[in-house]
Chains A and B, each alone.
Chain A
């Protein structure tokens, strides 16, 4: 399976993602934001970081960079595109997934482990995962998911919510919501569920001695689903 990780000026989780993808069997290529063409890929990843210093709005500048037109075309033709953290912010700015990510409700940068409940398994990202709840890591200042009432209705009608913040038993409640996101949304899909944007970092949970292994479950499952 071939993957591509896009590096924008200010990305800082691109190499972590490269390590994670390779560890679970992907042949990964790093792609510079100013390149026009995307290498042949089964999965494209927009990594975390602070592309363009978060100027104007997080992800807004990166969403207009040269490579993004190829990424948008790839996604629109059914290609798998995953945006993590700043990558999620870039995805909402392209319009590939609905909504926006606002400043965290309590104005603090949040860096901690969280539990997320998998809301939908009828997609290539979470299909066949046995767990209902995963422990991932979040590190962001703007992860407060927001959308209009009409958008929320559409998202819910199409089962586009991927994961919700919850406790370790999978209870999705207000006080397990770290950043004020509507409905505890931590990740969403586009309509066809080939594009996934999420704030948590699975690539930070691939080594028991460092953090945890729920990211390993995620990547192992993902590559098997793509085969």
Chain B
């Protein structure tokens, strides 16, 4: 089963890369952008076949390694 995780910076954390991307987009003519925030995306292929168990495992992975909860939030996308 494949489970996806999206990790984003929390609202109050400065994202200088997102800012530079925003400025570049602006320079390219995409001038209606309010803000850009850069994040991370993971695809985890697990042997677990039970949906809930797999999600619980991935949540544990997020808390222990994939995200740093001081600055980041994680969102687990429902497996298909």
Q: Is the CB of A60 within 8 A of B68?
A: yes
| Distance between Cα atoms of A146 and B20 in the complex (Å) | 20
| Distance between Cα atoms of A136 and B7 in the complex (Å) | 35
| Distance between Cα atoms of A57 and B71 in the complex (Å) | 11
What does DSSP make chain A's interface, helix, strand, loop or mixed?
A: loop
Q: Is the CB of A56 within 8 A of B16?
A: no
Which residues of chain B are within 8 angstroms of A73 by Cβ–Cβ distance? Answer: none
Asked whether A100 is an interface residue with its Cβ less than 8 Å from the other chain, the reply is: yes
| Distance between Cα atoms of A57 and B13 in the complex (Å) | 15
What is the number of residues of chain B that contact chain A, defined by CB distance less than 8 Å? Answer: 10
Pick from B20, B65, B66, B71: contact of A102, CB under 8 Å: B71
Asked whether A203 is an interface residue with its Cβ less than 8 Å from the other chain, the reply is: no
Q: Is the CB of A146 within 8 A of B68?
A: no
Q: Is the CB of B71 within 8 A of A64?
A: no
Asked whether B17 is an interface residue with its Cβ less than 8 Å from the other chain, the reply is: yes
Asked whether B14 is an interface residue with its Cβ less than 8 Å from the other chain, the reply is: yes
A3-11, A103-111, A117-125: which lies at the B interface?
A: A103-111
Asked whether A93 is an interface residue with its Cβ less than 8 Å from the other chain, the reply is: yes
Which residues of chain A are within 8 angstroms of B28 by Cβ–Cβ distance? Answer: none
What is the number of residues of chain A that contact chain B, defined by CB distance less than 8 Å? Answer: 19
Asked whether B70 is an interface residue with its Cβ less than 8 Å from the other chain, the reply is: yes
The smallest C-beta distance from B44 to any residue of chain A, in angstroms, reads: 13
Q: Is the CB of A99 within 8 A of B70?
A: yes
Asked whether A129 is an interface residue with its Cβ less than 8 Å from the other chain, the reply is: no
Pick from A56, A107, A148: contact of B70, CB under 8 Å: A148
The smallest C-beta distance from B30 to any residue of chain A, in angstroms, reads: 20
Known: A56-B65, A64-B65. A146 touches B70 (CB 8 A): yes
Q: Which residues of B approach A to under 8 Å, CB–CB? A: 13-14, 16-17, 20, 65-66, 68, 70-71
Q: Which residues of A approach B to under 8 Å, CB–CB? A: 56-57, 60, 64, 93, 99-100, 102-107, 144, 146-148, 151, 180
Show 7 residue pairs from A and B whose CB-CB distance is below 8 angstroms, ordered by the A residue.
A60-B68, A107-B16, A107-B17, A107-B20, A146-B70, A146-B71, A147-B70
